[in-house]
Amino acid sequence: MELVDVRPEDRELLWNITQKYLYEMTYFYDDKMDAHGNIEYEYFDAYFTEPERKAFFLYEEKDLVGFAMMRSYPYTEVETHLVLTEFTVFPMYRRKHLAKKAAEMIFDRFKGVWEVKYNEQNAAGKALWNQLAEKYHPDKTSLNETETLLTFSS
């Protein structure tokens, strides 16, 4: 597994795969399409202008298998250093432990206090994040009826 920094010249590729991810997330959120068929992502451009935000492509061997996005703005008032805002491994690469491998690489590379949010209706995401965070002894906070936040130190 390799984490590759997204560069400004990769913007179009990241936008395209982010859209596929956001479409998948409409199973859990009521995000609407715009007139061009895209799901709005208000902070997308900030990943190319704000140093507090980072995006990575996830590669297994030479195959692009997913992406991750992070920032340093917390969801809560907890003094958090890092937030994993978006993360996916594409469906054809799932069930091969690649998400676990990629997330562990991110948590190892960026040591600090993390926040990871998941939707309670997303059974696979819930299982993944609870399993991954278990070794860090996370604090679990209900943000609302459908979202849970894990806070832990890596």
Beta-carbon-side half-sphere exposure of residue 62 (alpha carbons within 13 Å): 0
pLDDT of residue 76: 58
For domain 2-153, which CATH number applies: 3.40.50.150, 1.10.760.10, 3.40.630.30, 3.30.420.40?
A: 3.40.630.30
Instruction: Over range 7-22, report the average pLDDT.
Output: 96
Nearest C-alpha neighbor of 84 from the set 54, 122, 60, 127: 54
Residue 128 has pLDDT above 70, yes or no: yes
The tokens describing 134, both together, are 């278990």
- Which DSSP string do the residues of 22-72 spell out, in sequence order? HHHHTTTS---B-TTSPBP-TTGGGGGT-TT-EEEEEEETTEEEEEEEEES
Q: How confident is the model at residue 3 (pLDDT cuts 50, 70, 90)?
A: very high
The tokens describing 141, both together, are 């906070």
Whole-model pTM over 0.85: yes
Scan for tokens 């609302």, then name that residue.
144
Instruction: Over range 35-55, report the average pLDDT.
Output: 93
Q: In what side-by-side order are the strands of the sheet with 2-5?
A: 2-5, 54-60, 63-71, 82-89, 113-119, 147-153, 139-142
The 10s digit of each residue's pLDDT in 49-73 is 999 999 999 999 999 999 999 998 6
